[in-house]
Amino acid sequence: MGAVPSTPRWGGSSSAARPLDTAEYLISTFIGDESFPISSDFWHKLLELPLNLQWPPHRVHEACQALARNNYHTRHLAKILIHMAWCLQESISTSSGAPSLVYVKAVNAVYISSVFLKYFIENEKEDKIEDLYLSVDESEPIPTDITKDLNIEDFVMRSVLSFIGSIDVSPDTYLLHLELLNFMLIAMSTQLLSGPSPGPEDVNPFIDAAMSQESSLVILVVRKLLLSYITGPSISLNSASYSIYSEGSQPGVLQRVSSAAANLMLLPFNFLVSSSGEGSRSLLADCSLHVLLILSHYRKCVAGNEPITDISNDTTASDSLLKGSTQFSDNPYCKALEHATDVEFDRVDTEGNAHAGPVLRIPFASLFDALGMYLADEAAALLLYSLLQGNADFLEYVLVRTDLDTLLMPILEALYNAPKRSSNQIYMLLIILLILSQDSSFNASIHKLIVPSVPWYKERLLHQTSLGSLMVITLIRTVQYNLSKLRDVYLHTTCLATLANMAPHVHRLSAYASQRLVSLFDMLSRKYNKLAEMRDNQVQLVKGNSIEGNGLADDTSTEMHIYTDFLRLVLEILNAILTYALPRNPEVIYAIMHRQEVFQPFRNHPRFNELLENIYTVLDFFNSRMDAHNVDGEWSVEKVLQVIIINCRSWRGEGMKMFTQLRFTYEQESHPEEFFIPYLWQLVLSRCGLGFNPDAINLFPVDPPSEKQSDYEVSSNGHVNGESTKHAVFVEP
């Protein structure tokens, strides 16, 4: 097709026969100002040559700048993307045989495309995606198998997704799978350029192309991504099985990956050889999960005159005013996850599914085990949340498992180590517990599971503790941590809502958990009393015509109102235990009797006296039994407990007032994308080591505060309302 023009080489030896010089020559030609037709032999030479250039970062940057200057004329970025798609299609057709030169070309094409595409995306000016020039000049000859109006991003994404969905991971294909997942992260990173609220002006060509694929392909891709996460294939890049990529004594394309030296293709992708942190098993598993989460949480905002298949449901009047015109197109990856069924079920079981079209079938048991093993990772917690919140079949599967400790123990351990976790991770884990606590069978079964020991709990030696008691202890500890550090109203409410759901089903709550429950009321009451004293002092300032004092008094009154609701919730929890589960919980009665003085100051309080009546009914009953009981010597804990246990049998609940049982449920905000999309990309950038240009990021603050403050407010009807970047808890009527 013609000789390669004499583009100047970027350094190197004077010997033109060495592979290094040839690779450098071709790369320099690729970024130069000479345009090569898409059918030119130049592309085959470029992609077939082992790329082992060892360029420092500034030369990689200069190469990207050179292509950016010339791409509007050469359209070389679009052309190498087309060649990448062709290589993937050829790889699919030859997948039955041993890896061949086509795999080398595919990996090289993905490497080169990713490096330069990343630079183009993160250096766009004024969100001009069209500067990518994803089209071929109409004046140049086009091969007969493509059309002039070819949508390159759709063509590329269809080829990428087809390879991922149809080719199994093996030692021969591992690197190509990994590179394609990294390419997808790069291609979808256009989301970083937009604000946290998706709008109709946002341009995300590659992820939009992924959304437009046929449902059958989407099912295959989601299944393969989940299986890659479940199985966690980890293959050493130094493995001898890759020697097929080398010809004779020349280095193969994989040699540069296993080498410690930096090179042109590896420099922007240091995450390919770095661990993604706690809870990970393999690079491929982590990348698969990140890609799946970004795909499934994407929302494309469309204008009102465009066809849509999914309209946002605004649940509150205020939210409707703010977001009423927002409409989103359907996300097939999200739908695939929501309608996924267990592979163990017969097909007959899925025929009644209202979801039309193909259904994703995955091994729930393996997924359950994988999630339990790696829930310390934030991305794993997000996947579990997505499945529990959106997939009724998976939620039901989890609830009927008899080994709930598989999931709960890592969640509780993560909450125990809250200071080491991000506030977003704490929120997600608490929401997971809240969703599970909505089921009465879950609340009953966790008290039947006995945990032999809890080595990560340092404050006290816990032996033979029920999972339910450990959950109560950990939730109360989380409230205490939040009170002293985060001071987030939403976190408080979620913890207490979960405890309230659990309360009627408590069975043999441990002594330590019972003590912590009463101590929780004491801790909140002391905070309440302190606020009351502050308010009284500020009222005196107001009387002195102090404008500052007036503002402080209003703030303190608002905080007092919040803590009043918290105290009422704790009293509701104690009431539910005493009303529905008193005979089964002598330790709770003992803890209340032992610390009964903490309730006295609130006995005549208008907001608390009604809820305290039942507590004092129980106290009067058991105090009278204690007074009537003759005991030799002094009372001991064992003797008091024995009297309580004996008299629990004769307890009939006389004089107890029956209150409406509180049942808190979780409802996702009508615009969850404003929370999840920024959160997911923060995880990707921090875990994958993807060094994106911080000046180009508009999705979230580049240097966010270390501790996020919540702007939730608790309303008088028990609802929790806040900005759509968070989540809502409400009381079921």
| Phi, then psi, of 728 in degrees rounded to 5 | -115, 140
Spatial CB neighbours of 1, under 8 Å, sequence gap ≥ 6: 37, 39, 40, 41, 42
Q: HSE of 602 in the Cβ direction (CA atoms, 13 Å)?
A: 25
CA 218/CA 358 separation, integer angstroms:
10
Q: Work out the burial of residue 29: count CB atoms within 10 Å of its CB; fewer than 13 is exposed, 13-18 middle, 19 or more buried.
A: buried
pTM of the model: 0.85
Beta strand 463-466 with 664-667 is unpaired
Percentage of the chain surpassing pLDDT 90? 55
Rounded to a whole number of angstroms, the distance between the first and last alpha carbons of the chain is 75
> pLDDT tens digits for 645-699?
999 999 998 889 988 888 999 998 888 999 999 999 999 998 876 788 888 999 9
Average pLDDT over residues 556-576: 92
Q: HSE of 351 in the Cβ direction (CA atoms, 13 Å)?
A: 3
Q: Is the pLDDT of residue 263 over 80?
A: no
How far out from the chain centre does Cα 705 lie?
Answer: 19
> pLDDT tens digits for 611-650?
999 999 999 999 999 888 877 778 889 989 999 999 999 9
Which conformational region is residue 2 in: left (phi greater than 0), alpha (psi within -120 to 50 degrees), or beta?
left
> pLDDT tens digits for 86-100?
999 999 988 654 457
Contact 81, 134 (CB under 8 A): yes
Contact 336, 222 (CB under 8 A): yes
Looking at per-residue confidence, does 210 or 2 come out higher?
A: 210
Beta strand 450-453 with 463-466 is antiparallel
Looking at per-residue confidence, does 43 or 304 come out higher?
A: 43
Helix intervals (H) in 359-485: 364-373, 378-390, 392-400, 405-416, 423-437, 440-445, 467-481
Contact 328, 303 (CB under 8 A): no
If DSSP states are collapsed to H, E and C, what string results for 121-147? HHCCCCCCHHHHCCCCCCCCCCCCCCC
Which has the closest alpha carbon to 338: 396, 388, 406? 388
Which conformational region is residue 234 in: left (phi greater than 0), alpha (psi within -120 to 50 degrees), or beta?
beta
**What pLDDT score was predicted for residue 311?**
43
Longest dimension (CA), the chain: 109
Q: Is the pLDDT of residue 470 over 60?
A: yes
Average pLDDT over residues 459-467: 95
CA 360/CA 377 separation, integer angstroms:
25
**What pLDDT score was predicted for residue 112?**
92
Looking at per-residue confidence, does 630 or 333 come out higher?
A: 333
Collapsing DSSP to helix, strand or coil, 342 comes out as strand
**Which residue is it, tokens 């491929």?**
284
> pLDDT tens digits for 429-450?
999 999 999 999 999 999 999 9
**What pLDDT score was predicted for residue 21?**
53
Looking at per-residue confidence, does 582 or 552 come out higher?
A: 582
**What pLDDT score was predicted for residue 537?**
80
Partners of 311 in beta bridges: 327
**What pLDDT score was predicted for residue 706?**
43
CA 685/CA 704 separation, integer angstroms:
14
**What pLDDT score was predicted for residue 304?**
58
CA 358/CA 351 separation, integer angstroms:
11
> pLDDT tens digits for 123-169?
876 556 666 777 776 667 666 666 666 788 999 999 999 999 999 99
CA 624/CA 141 separation, integer angstroms:
99
Q: Is the pLDDT of residue 11 over 60?
A: no
Contact 581, 618 (CB under 8 A): no
**Which residue is it, tokens 């009604």?**
610
Partners of 310 in beta bridges: 328
Q: Is the pLDDT of residue 15 over 60?
A: no
The secondary structure element, H or E, covering residue 102 is helix 101-122
Spatial CB neighbours of 4, under 8 Å, sequence gap ≥ 6: 25, 26, 29, 42, 45
Q: In the predicted model, what is the mean pLDDT of the chain?
A: 81
**What pLDDT score was predicted for residue 489?**
87
Q: Is the pLDDT of residue 308 over 60?
A: no
Token duo for residue 96? 């039955």
CB neighbour burial string for 417-437, b if at least 16 within 10 angstroms, e if fewer: ebeebbbbbbbbbbbbbbbbb
Spatial CB neighbours of 128, under 8 Å, sequence gap ≥ 6: none
Which conformational region is residue 356 in: left (phi greater than 0), alpha (psi within -120 to 50 degrees), or beta?
beta
Helix intervals (H) in 232-363: 255-258, 283-297, 317-323, 332-338
